[in-house]
Structure formats: C-alpha cells, structure tokens
Amino acid sequence: MSSQHPLPNTQQPSDVYGGDEVSALVLDAGYCHTRAGFAGEDVPKSVLPSFYGSLKTGDGDAATYRDIFGDECLIPRADFEVKNYMSRAESIVEDWDAATKMWEHVLIKRLQPEKPTPPSKNGLNDPVPDGEGDVAMDDVEDQEKPLAESPLLMTEAPWNTGKAREKVIEIAMESWGCPAFWLSRTPVLAAFAAGKASALVIDVGGANTSVTAIHDGMVLKRSIQKSPVGGLWLSGQIRSMWDNNDPKIDIVPSYMVENKTPVDAGAPAQAKLRKFPYEISQSFRTYEEERLVTEFKESVVEVWRGPGRYSNPGNEDIVRSQPGRVFEMPNGSNQMWREQRFRVSEGMWDETAALPAAESITKAQTIPELIKAAVNAVDVDLRPNLLGNIVITGGTSLLNGFGDRLNNELMAMYPGMKIKIHAPGLTTERRFSAWLGGSILASLGTFHQMWISRKEYEENGAGIVEKRCK
C-alpha cells in the first residue's frame, strides 16, 4: 500500500459505477412524505410527513399562523391544524409558501445544520458603537444563500404543470441560491433506481397510483395513467369496512387513549380516554386516524394473489379456512380478520368488488386497466420490452401479495408475452425508489453536463426548465 502514489487526476480511475460526487442534494416531495438527502447515499437522510402543523396565535382577525414541520411536532395542541401543502388529487404543490418553508426545513435545517458564525464576523467582538446592546445585522444580500454550495435535484409528478415547474426552479435559484438545478420525474427515477433506462413503472403511492412508460430515461407522455387508487383510497375502504362491521368499530387514535385493559376478541373496549383542556381539531384527528389505518394496512390487509379475481366462486371459502390475523386497536378492542382483509384491497383490481365508500372508482381506474391503457398508448415495438421491465414502486405496493397478483393479472392480460416484474424486497427501496433514483442520477459523472446552471437560469429565465428537463 505504501508503494502506491496517488495518481494524477487525469489518470485517476473514476469510480467503478461512473460516480462523481459533487455533494448534490436530492428532494423528493410526495403527498404523504417529503424525502431529502445527499446524492450518492442509499437512503434519504430526512423523511418528513408532508403534513405540517399550523399553530394559531391570537384571535379573530389578528390571528397569526406559525407553521411547524416534522413528525415530532404533530402532537395534540391547542389551536392546531394539520395541513398538507400538496393537492390530494394531483400530488402537485398547492400551497407554495408552505412548500417553500417545508423544503427549507428539510433541506437546510435537517441536512445542513447552521454553522457557527466565525467569531470575527458574529459581531460579538465588535466595539460597541452607540452603547446599545444589539448590533445591527448585516445586509441580507451579504449573507450567503443557504444552498449556495450544493446543486439540487428535485422530483415532480409526471403530470406536473409547466407553471409549477417554473416556480420550483425560481425558488431553488432565487431564494436558496443553488449553483445548479435539475427537475426529474418520479417514474424515471424509479426506473433508474431499478437499474433500467426503459421500464413500465407502476407507482402505487399514497394519494395516487400511476402507470408510466419510460423509454431511454424519458417519460412517454401519452402513456401516463393516473388513478386515485392508492393508499388513502385504501384507507377509505378500510373505514368503510369498519363502519359496516358487526359490531361497528370506532376509530380511536392512540393519542386519545390514556390507558386500556386487555379484552377478549370481539368484546367491547375497556379504555380510559384522555381529556384535553382544549379542542382537538378535526384535521389533527383525521391525521391521527390515518396513522392507525396505515398500521392496519401494514399488518393485516393482504391482496388476493390470484389467479383470477377474489370474487370468483370458491376463493372466499379458501381464505375462510385459513388462519386470520388479529388486530388490536389502541383502545384494546381486538378482532380476528380473515376474508375481510382480502376484500378491502380487491377494489384495486376489480371495481365491482370495491366497498361502497366516499370515492367510488370506475373500471378504468383499476390497476390492470391502467396498465392496459398505458401499454396501448405506446408504440407497438416498445411493448414487449416494457412488459419485460415492469418496476413496482410506492409504499402501497408493499401490501402482501401485491406482486403476485400483479403478475397474475398481467399473465392473464398478455398471455403470449414475457412478463418480468422488478419489485425490490427492501421496503426502503420501494418507498423511496424515486429519491433513490435521484440520488443515483445526481451522483453520476455523466450527469454533470445536464445541470441547469445558475448562469443559464439568469440568461434564460424560469422557462429554461421546460426546455431542458424534458
């Protein structure tokens, strides 16, 4: 080892994977979670719920709101509302102020803790000019912009609007001072995370399910299919099931329970609820209920693996004969779930099996139909390749049996084709695959020529993002 001299830069072998770290940041904003981290890492450093708290101080017209971010802040408080900066239907930023604050929180506070100002500049050592204790702050212009050293790669939904894209680059360049910026679409990055340049990406996320065909690292716009059949829709199904259960199940989130005593299955709960001296807002309660439902989804709900639909005769009997799963509510009531846990998820595949809920879906919104529509909107020559490179991503795709069912549905739909599904086993890879793809992309040596630099932005304006990030 000691005999080796460092090679000159020209000879130095660039990394095996073609990587060249430039300490870029990657930000992946979704409806449920916002993920941020350093490029080149395999998991985002900070994952925050996209829900944020808004604290009201003052009354009536004089009321002022303070936004607080982070999971740890979302606790029962007085005058506290839980909001989301994104639109549920589109997964596109709605509230730009909140989005900017949220992203700043994620990128700056969480990833780049403030450096202590050097003693020469912090003003404490300056001679006191006029006897007052405080020293006037330097001009804002003189201050270094928070992200002046790191290029930023952000993700967007494939159906993102041109306006939103321009807004994003504006924020990154103007208020954060990024030296370079890039905007990439989530399915493309998910395909990159799976190591594919061409793929059919099935993203079953929180608010939406989308199917997108990717060719050579670019989205085929005509193939983009979107449907609300995602995690939140599934929560609606579960609520509907709980409402119609016998006995009816009340949703009592964890924060309301002070203590509980164990009860037999099916017996009424014996728990003491907490009393709050202030009113808990409905939005907070819904948010907390969603946590409970998510837990139920993660531990109980399963997808009928097929072949064929769950509603086919005989299938339910098979499920009944198999052991069920017990789920205990925060208030102690518990119940065995057998066939119901398959029934709630069946609506993703078969619109007739969907439980009556607030959001009813059409046939075209089921996952098989989305795939069919996406594939049909693509040139015939690409179809076999796409079906051989299917990438599943999104947290809701982690439902038990999802991959098997998808495979069965695809085999039934395209009997003659070779179908290969890429479904990472690691949950982080599924949940953060778009971020992961961004992390890979931003750390590639060949990507550095793509960045939209600050100068280019200044010369061309925000419209450059439409021209460059296709």
Partner 1 sequence: MASHDVRDVLNLPHDGAARPAKKLKTNVPRPSLKGLAREVQNLGGDNPIAIVPEISSFKKRRFGSRKPAARWELRPFRNSARDDQSLHLRHWRKQTEDQARTQESQSGENGAEQESKSEQLDDSTFAKFNVQVDIPQYSDDQYNSNLISRYWTKDETDYLFGLVRDFDLRWPLIWDRYEYKPKPPEQARNGEGAGSMDPRTAVMPAGRPRSLEDLKSRYYEVAAKMMVVQKPVQYMTQPEFQLHEMMANFNPVAETQRKKFASDAMSRSREEAQEEELLLIEVRRILARQERLNQERRELYHRLDYPQTEQDISAFKSSAGLATLLQNLMNVDKTKKRKSLMEANGVNTPASAHPSDRLGHPNSTPISENRRESIAASSTGHRDSIGGSERPERPAKKGPQPAPKKLSEQEEHIYGVVHHDRLPSGPTFRYERINKILTTKSNAQHQRITNTLAELDIPSRLNMPTRAVVEEMEKLLASIGVLLDTRKLSDKLDAEIKLEKAKKAEREKTMAPAQTGKAAESAKVNGDAKKDGVNGTHSTNGDSTSAATAEKTNGDVPATNGSTNGETNGNSDTTANGDGAAPGDKGVRPGSSSNNRKRSVSVLSGISDKSSKRQKK
Closest CB to partner 1 among 257 and 413? 413
Residue type (1 letter), 115: K
Residue 445, interface with partner 1 (CB under 8 A)? yes
Three-state SS annotation for the chain: CCCCCCCCCCCCCCCCCCECCCCCEEEEECCCEEEEEECCCCCCCEEEECEEEEEEECCHHHCEEEEECCHHHCCCCCCEEEEECECCCCCCECCHHHHHHHHHHHHHHHCCCCCCCCCCCCCCCCCCCCCCCCCCCCCCCCCCCCCCCCCEEEEECCCCCHHHHHHHHHHHHHHCCCCEEEEEEHHHHHHHHCCCCCEEEEEECCCCEEEEEEECCEECHHHCEEECCCHHHHHHHHHHHHHCCCCCCCCCCHHHEEEEECCCECCCCEEEECCCCCCCCHHHHHHHHHHHHHHHHHHCCECCCCCCCCCCCCHHHHHHCCCCEEEECCCCCEEEECCHHHHHHHCCCCHHHCCCCCCCCCHHHCHHHHHHHHHHCCCHHHHHHHHCCEEEECHHHHCECHHHHHHHHHHHHCCCCCCCEECCCCHHHHHCHHHHHHHHHHCEHHHHHCCEEHHHHHHHCCCHHHHHCC
Binding segment for partner 1 (CB under 8 A), chosen from 248-256, 331-339, 354-362, 446-454, is: 446-454
Question: For partner 1, how many residues bind (rule: CB under 8 A)?
Answer: 46
* Interaction residues for partner 1, span 75-114 (CB under 8 A): none
Q: Provide the minimum distance between the beta carbon of 383 and partner 1 in the complex, in angstroms, as a whole number.
A: 6
3 contacts partner 1 (rule: CB under 8 A): no
Is residue 463 part of the contact set for partner 1 (CB under 8 A)?
no
Pick from 78, 412, 461, 463 the residue near partner 1 by CB under 8 A. Answer: 412
Position 425 contacts partner 1 (CB under 8 A): no
420 forms part of the interface with partner 1 (CB under 8 A): no
- Candidate residues 118, 127, 416, 425; the one interacting with partner 1 per rule CB under 8 A: 416
Q: Which stretch binds partner 1 (CB under 8 A): 3-11, 69-77, 158-166, 425-433?
A: 3-11
Binding span for partner 1 by CB under 8 A among 19-27, 121-129, 161-169, 270-278? 19-27
* Closest CB to partner 1 among residues 43, 450: 450
Phi then psi dihedrals of residue 289, to 5 deg: -60, -40
Site for partner 1 in 163-202 (CB under 8 A): 179-180
Q: Which is nearer to partner 1, 94 or 456 (CB)?
A: 456
Min CB(220)–partner 1 separation in Å: 4
d(CA 401, CA 304): 7
**417 near partner 1 (CB under 8 A):** yes
CB 28 within 8 A of CB 44: yes
273 contributes a contact to partner 1 by CB under 8 A: no
Residue 408 in the binding site for partner 1 (CB under 8 A): no
Exposure string of 119-152, with b = 16+ CB inside 10 Å and e = fewer, is eeeeeeeeeeeeeeeeeeeeeeeeeeebbeebbb
Using CB under 8 A, pick the residue from 108, 273, 336, 382 that binds partner 1: 382
Give the residue with the Cβ less far from partner 1, 249 or 452. Answer: 452
Residue 414 binds to partner 1 (criterion: CB under 8 A): yes
| Contacting residue, 12, 120, 125, 321, with partner 1 by CB under 8 A | 12
CB of 150 to partner 1, least distance (A): 10
Pick 39 or 111: Cβ nearer partner 1: 39
Amino acid at 425: G
* Residue 453 binds partner 1, judged by CB under 8 A: yes
Regarding 10 and contact with partner 1 (CB under 8 A), the answer is: yes
223 binds partner 1 per the rule CB under 8 A: yes
Residue 219 beta carbon to partner 1: minimum distance, rounded to whole angstroms: 8
CA quadruple 197, 18, 395, 466: dihedral sign: negative
Measured from the CB of residue 440, what is the shortest distance to partner 1 in angstroms? 14
Six token digits for residue 58: 């003052």
User: Measured between alpha carbons, how far is 411 from 407 in angstroms, rounded to an integer?
Assistant: 6
The least CB distance from residue 353 to partner 1, in Å, is 22
> Among 57, 298, 446, 466, which residue interacts with partner 1 (rule: CB under 8 A)?
446
In the complex, minimum distance from the CB of residue 443 to partner 1, in angstroms, rounded to a whole number? 10
User: Which residues, 114 to 153, sit near partner 1 by CB under 8 A?
Assistant: 149, 151
Out of 70, 384, 388, 401, point to the residue binding partner 1 (CB under 8 A): 384
| Binding region for partner 1 (CB under 8 A) | 2, 6, 8-10, 12, 14, 18, 20-23, 149, 151, 179-180, 215-216, 218, 220-223, 378-384, 412, 414-417, 444-446, 448-449, 451, 453-456, 470
